[in-house]
Structure 1
Amino acid sequence: MTRFQVTIDCADPDRLARFWAGALGYKPEDPPAGFATWKEYWRDVGVPEEELDDRVDSIVDPEGTGPRIWFQQVPESKTVKNRLHFDVRASGGRGLPPEMRREQVRAEVDRLVGAGATVLRVLDEPGIDHYAVTMHDPEGNEFCVT
């Protein structure tokens, strides 16, 4: 099996890492064995003191099954629509009645809005057994709640 991480370019790694940890049920990544903090680790490998801080920039699935996600600080801002996005699956699946799935998606949308996301549009066309909400994370990256 090929292991991979997802890297997200951003302006504020700590803010996005904490948002997505909450959104996905992930947790901030622990420092390497033998180090109490990432700052201690980076100092040990020679990162200059003025570049050290205690911000979170990577998150991991506490179960160890999902990919590591690293939030890479970049100088340029987001300018176009994402070519890749997360789908946060909150509906419970097609085995549930449509209205129950909508309620669960709405509840997750409300939770994520409280964490800093914004609603872009609701995908709910008559006659289609699908309900989803397209959102923006705190830096404007698109994602869906389905």
Structure 2
Amino acid sequence: MVHATIPGMEETSRRQEASDAVSHLGWRLLLGTLRTSVPVSSLSQAASAATHAVATCGSEADDHLRVDLRPERVVLTLQSRKRAAVTARDVDLARRLTAALSDLGLRTDPAIGAGAVQLLEIAIDALDIAAIRPFWAAVLGYAPEPDADIVLVDPFGQGPAIWFQQMDQPRPQRNRIHFDVCVPHDEAAGRLEAALAAGGRLVSSAEAPAFWVLADPEGNEACITTWQGRDD
């Protein structure tokens, strides 16, 4: 299936607009991608759903669609490979995929359960990012993300992204590597409450809802992040 090129479809979408356009369909905006989790009953059904998704995207599949198959679910990810961001094309594909999967009796539904889609980043504090980034790229087999000189990504899409946080001076009482857990914006409050109930403490909410800084009982930090609060 080939779709005509429409001016503006490859332009990067603003986060709020992208989220508003597809959230009611069960898609969530996470780290410059649109993601949904489709419940299935078998690996065979997952393969059928994936095949249908690829056919629906047609010639745009290679540049925009990623599929992760499991016996219990299919995770669909949309992002422009050229821009490493969500575009109007991805929003359009999300709508088309939801309709196409519905024809198979499958759903992209926001009620599928907390944690069905999330992304993990590892943040490394650095005084000289340019000096340490090549080491981490080499030891992990990672590559720079397009147009992002502080991010490394797994070229095969298997491991979490690594990003480098610029430091002005050493902070020896703070862990130098921490996890950023990017969750759907409507799951952040629940994740925050669960972490606090499990013995964590809130270090800072100054940048919320972009991120909350938490610490475990020994002071090791982690952040819960969302797309919100990041648009100009």
Larger Rg: 2
Q: TM class, shorter-chain normalised?
A: 0.3 to 0.5
* Structure having greater relative contact order (Cα 8 Å, sep ≥ 6): 1
Relative to the length of structure 2, the TM-score reads 0.24
Relative to the length of structure 1, the TM-score reads 0.37
Higher helix proportion, which one? Answer: 2
